[in-house]
Amino acid sequence: MWPVGFLPLLLLVAIWVTQSQSSPPPLTHQIHLLRPLSGSAGEAVYGLSCLSWRLGVETHNVIGWSTIPGKCEGYVGHYMLGHQYRADSKVDVWIFDTDETSLSNLPYYARHGFGVEKYNSTLFNAWVEEGKAPALPETLRLYKKLQSLGIKPVFITGRTEDQRNVTKSNLLRAGYHSWEKLVLKASSYPTAVAYKSSQREQIEKSGYRIIGNIGDQWSDLLGSHAGNRTFKLPDPMYYIS
C-alpha cells in the first residue's frame, strides 16, 4: 500500500518526465552545444512551422525580417550544424553553354561573316585555339550573381576534349572563375540534344540538382534532365540539332 500523498507525487513526477522528453530543450545559449541533426530531425523536434518559415525565407516569400522567430532558434541551429545544410549547399548547379552563351565569338564572325557562308571547322577551331573570345557581359553578370547566391556553375560545351586547356584558359581570361565542372565532348553522339541530355543526367546522378540551364541553341535546353528553368539566348547565325 502506497503512503499517503505518495501517489500524487508519483503522478507529478511522471508528468514532468513526459513533458521533459517531448519538449525541446531550453533555447538560451545552446546553439554552440546543439548536437548536429539533419533538417528532417530538427523538423521532428521543433515542428513544421519552423520548416515552413525557412522555406518562406529561401523562396523570398518572407521579406524584410531581421531576426528569426525565437521558437525556431533550435531548429535553425540544428539545421546549420547538421548534415542537411551542407548537403543543400552542395547540390544546386546552373548549366552554362559556352559558345555564344558564356563566350562570344563575334570577333570571328565579324571577320568571316555572320552565317552566310557554310560553317568552316578549320577556321573556327583556329579561332578557338587563340583563346581570345570575350565574355558575353550579360551572362558573366548572371554567372557572378549565381555564385554570390551559392549556386555552382557547370559548363557543358560542344567543344571537344582536346580543346579543354584552351577553353579553360579562355574562360578564366574572360572573367569566369571557380566553376564546379567543365564538360567537353569526349565521344560522338547522334545529336547535340543526346549529348547534352546525357551529360546532364550524369551530373544529376552525381548528386547535383540542376536549377537552371542557359544556352543559345534549343539543343542546349531540350531533351531530358534540362533543369528546373531553361533560358534561350538569341542566336540567328546557326542552328545545332
- As a whole number, mean pLDDT of residues 37-59 equals 64
Domain range summary for the chain, segments of one domain joined by +: 30-48+70-81, 90-232
- pLDDT reading at 19 higher than 70: no
- As a whole number, mean pLDDT of residues 21-40 equals 46
| Poorest-pLDDT segment among 20-24, 33-37, 218-222 | 20-24
- As a whole number, mean pLDDT of residues 190-200 equals 98
- pLDDT reading at 58 higher than 80: no
pLDDT bin (cut points 50, 70, 90) of residue 60 is confident
pLDDT for res 25: 42
Q: Residues 63-95: pLDDT tens digits?
A: 777 788 888 888 887 877 777 776 776 689 999
| Poorest-pLDDT segment among 61-75, 112-126, 128-142, 195-209 | 61-75
Residue 178 one-letter amino acid = S
pLDDT bin (cut points 50, 70, 90) of residue 52 is confident
Beta bridge partners of 99: 103
Helix/strand/coil (H/E/C) assignment for every residue in the chain: CCCCCHHHHHHHHHHHHHHHHHCCCCCCCCHHHCCCCCHHHHHHHHCHHHHHHHHHHHCCCCCCCCCCCHHHHHHHHHHHHCHHHHHHHHHEEEEECCECCCECCHHHHHHHCCCCCCCCHHHHHHHHHHCCCCECHHHHHHHHHHHHCCCEEEEEEEEEHHHHHHHHHHHHHHCCCCCCEEEEECCCCCCHHHHHHHHHHHHHHCCCEEEEEEECCHHHCCCCCCCCCEEECCCCCCCCC
pLDDT bin (cut points 50, 70, 90) of residue 47 is low
Options 3.40.350.10, 3.40.800.10, 3.40.718.10, 3.40.50.1000; CATH of 90-232:
3.40.50.1000
- As a whole number, mean pLDDT of residues 20-34 equals 43
- pLDDT reading at 42 higher than 60: no
- pLDDT reading at 46 higher than 60: no
Question: For the whole model, what pTM was predicted?
Answer: 0.69
pLDDT higher for 211 or 79?
211
Residue 109 CA to residue 207 CA, distance in Å, equals 39
- What is the average pLDDT score of the chain? 82
pLDDT for res 20: 41
pLDDT for res 34: 52
| Poorest-pLDDT segment among 4-18, 38-52, 179-193 | 4-18
